[in-house]
Chains A and B, each alone.
Chain A
Amino acid sequence: MPDGDPSDAEVVRCVLLGDVDRFEVIVSRYRSVVFELLSRRLPAAEVPVVASDVFVSAWESLERYEARAPFAGWLTRLALRRCHDHWRRTYAESALRERLDDAAWRQIADAAPPRAARRRDDAEQLQLLLGRLPPDDRAVLTLLHLDERPVAEVAEILGWSTDKVKTRAHRVRRRLREAAAPDNAAPEAGAGSARP
Chain B
Amino acid sequence: MSSEHRDAGTHGEDEATGARWKAAWEAMPTAPVPEEWQATLMASVRERGAASRVRRPSLWWGPLAAAALLALAFGAAAAAGINPRRDLTELAVLAGDSAASVLRLPEGR
Please indicate whether A and B come from the same complex rather than being unrelated chains.
yes
| B21 & A146 in contact (Cβ 8 Å cutoff) | yes
Selected from B13, B18, B33, B34, the residue in CB contact (under 8 A) with A145 is B18
Q: Knowing A27-B41, A36-B30, A56-B44, say if A181 contacts B25 (CB, 8 Å).
A: no
A175 lies within 8 A of chain B by Cβ:
no
Q: How far is the CB of A78 from chain B (nearest CB, A)?
A: 15
Interface size class of B (residues with CB under 8 A): 20 to 34
CA distance A125 to B34 in the complex (A): 28
Q: Knowing A35-B30, A39-B30, A47-B31, say if A52 contacts B44 (CB, 8 Å).
A: yes
A91 lies within 8 A of chain B by Cβ:
no
B22 lies within 8 A of chain A by Cβ:
yes
CA distance A123 to B14 in the complex (A): 16
CA distance A123 to B13 in the complex (A): 17
B24 lies within 8 A of chain A by Cβ:
yes
| A55 & B41 in contact (Cβ 8 Å cutoff) | yes
Q: Knowing A145-B18, A146-B22, say if A52 contacts B33 (CB, 8 Å).
A: no
- Encoded as 1 (CB less than 8 Å from any A CB) or 0, chain B from 30 to 44 comes to 111110011011101
Q: How far is the CB of B26 from chain A (nearest CB, A)?
A: 8
Residue of A nearest to B52 (CB): A60
A side interface size, CB within 8 A:
35
Q: How far is the CB of B32 from chain A (nearest CB, A)?
A: 8
Give the residues in chain A near B28, CB-CB below 8 Å: 39-40, 123
Q: How far is the CB of A73 from chain B (nearest CB, A)?
A: 19
| A48 & B33 in contact (Cβ 8 Å cutoff) | yes
CA distance A36 to B14 in the complex (A): 27
| B21 & A48 in contact (Cβ 8 Å cutoff) | no
Give the residues in chain B near A146, CB-CB below 8 Å: 21-22, 25
| Chain B contact residues, CB within 8 Å of chain A | 10, 13-14, 17-18, 20-25, 27-34, 37-38, 40-42, 44-46, 48-49, 53
